[in-house]
Structure 1
Amino acid sequence: MAETVKLEVVTPARAVLDVATAEVVQLPGRDGMFGVLPAHAPLMATLGPGIVEYMIDPDKDVRGRMVVAGGFAIVRDDVVTVLAETAELPEEIDAHAAQAQLADAKAALGTAVSPDEEQALHDRVALAEARIEAVARA
């Protein structure tokens, strides 16, 4: 049995991450956060906007983080593949722009005219909050 999982994160534009030795991966599922450990059962899940966090060395608290805007996670044979709409590493995020995006998204929340539009605005808020948190925790 493997003691680690491999984490791959790809978007339509690029391969963002390829970590061969993650001991645990936390993912922002559409219905809440979930974790993947070695020997996890095969799984396909829808992701919402949020932070993907992976633990490389729990003894030394070595972690990596990135923000995804949503997508899918596929778990199979100790490999976690994230197919994301967009993905950003903390060092790629402009904190001031994220603050402005959060303010704009919150201001627009009351203007939704349909449930789909309201969900899209909530996703914008969640993405901006995740971007701010990722920068703060980097």
Structure 2
Amino acid sequence: MAETLQFDLVSPERRLASVAATEVQIPGAEGDLTAMPGHAPTITTLRPGVLKVVGPQGSKSFVVTGGFADISGTHVSVLAERAVPLEELTPALMDQLIADASEATAVAVDKDAADKAMGDLIAMRTAAGF
């Protein structure tokens, strides 16, 4: 049996996952990364994107709009500003996420980062076929 780590994903609305994982693919603010058992301790902020957890029970993907991840060799804890299981994503919800990001972009201090985050959400919408 493959070695696993504990994965937990929470948002202000609810706990979305608490499972054993063999890998967690994370949309980090400085670039994508994959956490696996034995990973060096790391804390990273999240950019809008798809977070994917793979484990003995299969894989599951979530759309996240931001937050941060705390990674160690034995666990990954993600606190997301907003997270939605990919299978629950609808065109209307995706439009709402983009509208919320647009509002945040208007008042952002770092306009380049905000524009990139907005672009990431629009690219996700296109990739999802909405």
TM bracket, shorter-chain basis: 0.7 to 0.9
Corresponding letter in the other structure for 2:36: L
Question: What TM-score results when the alignment is normalised by the length of structure 1?
Answer: 0.72
Q: Distance in 2 between matches of 1:46 and 1:24?
A: 18
Q: Distance in 1 between matches of 2:70 and 2:97?
A: 30
Partner of 2:8: 8
1:84–1:47: structure 2 CA closer, same or farther, 3 Å change rule?
same
Residue aligned with 1:38, SS = coil
Q: CA RMSD in A?
A: 3.1
Residue aligned with 2:40, SS = coil
Q: Distance in 2 between matches of 1:120 and 1:34?
A: 20
1:132–1:78: structure 2 CA closer, same or farther, 3 Å change rule?
farther
Which deviations, in whole Å up to 9, do the C-alpha atoms of 1:36-86 show, x marking residues without a partner?
1101111111111111112224xx9x3211111011100135110001100
Q: How does 1:1-40 map to 2 (within 5 A)?
A: 3-20=3-20, 22-40=21-39
Pick from 49, 59, 65: which aligns with 2:61?
Answer: 65
Partner of 1:89: 85
Residue aligned with 1:45, SS = strand
Gaps of 5+ in 1: none
Which deviations, in whole Å up to 9, do the C-alpha atoms of 1:4-45 show, x marking residues without a partner?
01110111221111112x111110000110011101111111
Q: Distance in 2 between matches of 1:94 and 1:52?
A: 17
Corresponding letter in the other structure for 2:8: E
Pick from 98, 105, 127: which aligns with 2:121?
Answer: 127
Q: How does 1:85-124 map to 2 (within 5 A)?
A: 85-95=81-91, 98=94, 116-124=110-118
In the alignment of these two chains, the number of paired residues is 125
